[in-house]
Structure 1
Amino acid sequence: MIKNWFKNIGPGTLVAAAFIGPGTVTLCTLAGVNFGMNLLWAMVLSILATIVLQEMAARLGIVSQKGLSQVIREEIPSPFSKQFITILILSAIVIGNASYEAGNISGGILGLETVFGKWTIEVGSFAVNMMSFVVGSIAFVLLYMGNYKFLEKALVALVLLMSISFIITAMVTKPNLTEVLKGMFIPKFPEKSLLTVIGLIGTTVVPYNLFLHASLVKEKWKTTDDLSLAKKDTVISIVLGGMVSIAIIISAAAMPSSEIHNAADLAKGLEPLYGSFAKYFMALGLFAAGITSAITAPLAAAYVAKGCLGWKEGLQSKRFRTVWMVILGIGVVFSSIGIKPIEIIKFAQVANGMLLPIVAGILLWIMNKKSILGNYSNTKWQNFAGLFILTISILLGLKTILSVFNVF
């Protein structure tokens, strides 16, 4: 049974790998430190919303055997709307992932440095972090293999490592189970918690994962007979990913110190309380979170470029490889010398803020088209859930855009 489960798990795990990046780990850490168990319900809501949207993306990919960006390009009749949405998708996903990639690699570095310490060399006026090249090289090798099955197995292994690491760390802190259950199922809004609630949802419901999932499922499954396998894979993987986020919040809630600003501080802070093992488990989880996001972000960008620009080639084509190589290369260089391209990141945040509600709306529209999905179009319940999530995505989008301009 377990062997059969491993055989059929795959694309969903890559989606979980993508949304549990360094940003999610840091935000969950701060949520636990500042608000204890009180915001666990926001993660439960995020998990449910992500399952609904990702199941739609997976169903679309299997039934149509096309990526989401390709379907959008083919189905929108207005040339102006098509061009605007294509430019928005490319800006948010390709440029956005390039600007965020340094953060993904830095997350993997934090995990390594927690155990091995810093490894920098002086080059002129710059201190170059050599750990960036270690993380970048691992990501490069896994992506360059160009073999979906191998990439899938590698990421499944990393996600399992990350999950086990963070969950054991949470267990070591011996949380009060009654408080955990209350936090998960009784919504509370402590003072000044609204932005953190929105952030927790926003780091889980990720626009580029919809494109990534629709493209990946058709690499693994070819017929509608596989829809039940894809749904099971989606639910199990996203719940597992959500448990990781919940485990980080629980671990952080156990910390008495207010000197916790990121997950690396949490890893070091756990050592005097719970021994060195907690630190090592947290470091392993941090490394896995960073490396998985460092792989999936360039991969998603390459798939989006392929669909938007109408490329027919697969993972081993020169154009596909060029996209992810450029994004990975930018991430390695920026993370190694500590540069944060602030203006590009702001532009990417605005583009992503606009993209999430637009894509969620378009996905809902497409999922009701019998010409594409036939008998596999949305049910009334799926449409109701989708409209609820669309409302959330509009709020998330507005919050993201307004926060960039320091309005919210």
Structure 2
Amino acid sequence: MKKKTAATPAAHSEEETSWLARLGPGVVTGAADDDPSGIATYSQAGARFGLNMLWTVLLTYPLMAAIQIISARIGRVSGRGLASNMRRHYPRWILHVTVLMLVVANTINIAADLAAMGDAVRLLVGGPARWYAVGFGLLSLGLQIFIPYHRYVRVLKWLTLAMLAYVAVIFTIRIDWAQVGRAVVWPQASLTRDYITTVVAVLGTTISPYLFFWQASEEVEQMKSQPGGKSIRKEPGKARTELGRIQVDTYVGMGFSNLVAFFIMLTAALTLHAHGVTSIDTSAQAAEALRPIAGDFAFMLFAAGIVGTGLLAVPVLAGSAAYAMAGSFKWASSLEYRPAMAKEFYGVIALATLGGMAIDFLPLDPVRGLYWSAVINGVISAPIMVVMMLMATNRQVMGRFVIRGGLKVFGWLATALMAGTVLALAVTALPLG
């Protein structure tokens, strides 16, 4: 069982002396971004529009990295998560609407991810996909409840290696890199409703609200797990070291995430789209469609990657919802606490996970909704990002560590991009004539 107290100094002596060992929140957050629903979205984009969506992944990298660095800095500088800061400094209705949308979207996302994982196992070994999904859900829930954060985060770090499956897939097919380069620099974009909707879905998958809440909260967790850990505002002498670590951690994590997303989209474009397969509803369907085109090995790598990334993403989705709810209502919240010390926090984790499992048994198709959950994420990201940017430039929140310069510029650019794509989606949705 968990203990409320943080790990002892001895347990963290190696972590304290190894700078690289302290990387984690950014790497785990980036890897969680390529969850099974994200894999399906990137596969759909590649299958439907070929190479003409690859530019979105490259465009989003500096913007995604900037907004995630900002969320991490808010957590580490203030010593509080995003929801806690929103509760202290902004109108309650903004907080409650934001958190409600986040919890609903995350629960649907969990359902889609668990269903995709179950389907992937069924493709690999046969058997009942729904019960595999239940097993994965219970496994994820048990790990979060019974393993302390400083140990559990090591499990999540190792799970990031599952993403290498999508790097490996690209070596099983032939690629005309000159053609790929031309498509990235000069894509054949269009202003059709389908194209813009797909752009919003890709952006909503890449720049997602649950990632903001998770990384800010994990910085707080990492701070608390260190002996005598304090926020940067209370211990400014650590600012240079900690903010530098956050920057490198996040750039590495988001770079890894976007590289994998690029390869998934490229694989779908060069195999599925090139062979006339332009409609992909699920990540498992994308894996299955690969088999006759790219061979059994590519199929197995793709399917195994779905399981690995799902095991990483489900706890991030449930955990970010719990951190947001706990921050909203001033509940005790830490993955280091025993369940008895943070009943409401673990209750939200359980409800989100079990709710996702239950959706998979309803007469609905939860996986069909994952594409639209990505679109919804894109829509709700814009107002959340506005609040985050106001927070990061607010001295009441950040003290003298408010963001400046390039980070501030790229943060607002990311926010404007999300708002612009949502506006474009709204315009294309209007009836014509």
Q: TM class, shorter-chain normalised?
A: 0.7 to 0.9
Change over 3 Å in CA distance of 1:39–1:141 after alignment to 2: same
Residues 290 and 345 of structure 1: is their aligned pair in 2 closer, same or farther, counting only changes over 3 Å? closer
| AA matched with 1:257 | H
Aligned mates of 1:25, 1:146 — CA distance in 2 = 28
Q: 1:150 to 1:266 in 2, by over 3 A?
A: same
Q: Distance in 1 between matches of 2:191 and 2:97?
A: 35
Taking the aligned partners of 2:220 and 2:26, their CA distance within structure 1 comes to 12
Residue of structure 2 equivalent to 1:75: 89
Quick one: which amino acid aligns to residue 222 of structure 2?
A: K
For the residues of structure 1 that align with 2:373 and 2:178, how far apart are their CA atoms?
40
Q: How many residues align?
A: 390
Quick one: which of 311, 329, 332 aligns to 2:357? 332
- Determine the C-alpha separation between the residues in 2 that align with 1:135 and 1:149: 22
Mark the runs of 5 or more structure 1 residues left unpaired by the alignment. Answer: 77-81, 121-128
- Residue 324 of structure 1, CA deviation: 0.6
The aligned counterpart of 2:304 is: 284
Please give the residue correspondences for 1:352-371 in structure 2 after superposition, counting only pairs within 5 Å. 352=377, 355-371=380-396
Tell me if the contact between 1:98 and 1:328 (Cα under 8 Å) persists in the aligned partners: yes
Shift of 1:374: 3.2
- Residues 1:254 and 2:255 are matched in the alignment: no
In 1, the alpha carbon distance for the partners of 2:352 and 2:197 equals 29
1:178 corresponds to: 178
Return the alpha-carbon distance in structure 1 between the equivalents of residues 312 and 306 of structure 2: 10
Aligned residue among 92, 96, 99 for 1:90: 99
Q: Name the amino acid aligned to 1:395.
A: G
- 1:341 CA drift (Å): 7.4
8 Å Cα contact 2:43/2:283 also seen in 1:
yes
Is the aligned partner of 1:47 residue 2:61?
yes
CA distance in 2 between partners of 1:239 and 1:341 (Å): 29
Q: 2:126 aligns with which of 113, 117, 123?
A: 117
Is 1:391 the counterpart of 2:422? The answer is no
Measure, in 1, the Cα distance between the counterparts of 2:430 and 2:111: 23
SS of 1:311's partner is coil
Cα separation, 2, equivalents of 1:350 and 1:167: 26
Cα shift at 1:5: 6.8
**Counterpart of 2:215?**
213
Q: Given the alignment of the two structures, is residue 231 of structure 1 paired with residue 247 of structure 2, yes or no?
A: yes
Partners of 2:204 and 2:180 in 1: how far apart?
A: 22
Q: CA deviation at 1:396?
A: 4.0
**Separation in 2, partners of 1:304, 1:401:** 28
- Native 8 Å contact 1:172 1:274 kept in 2: yes
1:304 alignment counterpart: 324
Aligned partner (choices 106, 115, 119) of residue 106 of structure 1: 115
Sequence identity of aligned pairs in percent?
21
Q: Relative to 1, partners in 2 of residues 1:387 and 1:14: Cα closer, same or farther, differing over 3 Å?
A: same
Q: Contact 2:31/2:253 (CA < 8 Å) preserved in 1?
A: no
Q: Is the contact made by 1:57 and 1:363 (CA closer than 8 Å) also made in structure 2?
A: yes
Matched, 1:167 2:167: yes
Residues 157-207 of structure 1, C-alpha deviations (whole Å, 9 max, x = no match)? 22211x210110112113222233333444541574332222211211111
Which residue does the alignment assign to 2:36? 22
The reply to whether residue 377 of structure 1 matches residue 393 of structure 2 is no
Question: Unaligned stretches of 5+ in structure 2?
Answer: 1-16, 224-228, 230-237
**RMSD of Structure 2 on Structure 1 (CA):** 2.9
Distance 1:348 1:165 in 2: 25
3-state SS of the aligned residue for 2:174?
A: coil
Q: How far apart are the structure 2 equivalents of 1:395 and 1:208? A: 20
| 1:38 alignment partner, SS class | helix
1:41-83 CA-partner distances (Å, limit 9, x unpaired): 101112221101000011111111111111111112xxxxx12
Provide Cα deviations, 1:364-398, integer angstroms capped at 9, x if missing partner.
11211233323321213222222222212223444
1:172–1:165 Cα change, 3 Å: same
Q: Given residue 283 of structure 1, which amino acid in structure 2 is its aligned partner?
A: A
AA paired with 2:214?
L
Q: CA deviation at 1:290?
A: 2.3
CA distance in 2, matches of 1:168, 1:204: 21
What's the secondary structure of 1:48's corresponding residue?
helix
Of 232, 235, 242, which aligns to 2:258? 242
SS at match of 1:130: helix
Structure 1 residues 349, 242: CA separation in 2 closer, same or farther (over 3 Å shift)?
Answer: closer
Query: What's the secondary structure of 1:36's corresponding residue?
Result: helix
Letter in 1 for 2:140: A
Confirm whether residue 139 of structure 1 aligns to residue 140 of structure 2. Answer: yes
Paired residues of 1:88 and 1:351 also in contact (CA < 8 A): no
Aligned AA (1:62): R
Cα pair distance change 1:361/1:131, threshold 3 Å: same
Aligned residue number for residue 323 of structure 1: 348
The CA distance in 1 between the partners of 2:371 and 2:174, in whole Å, is: 40
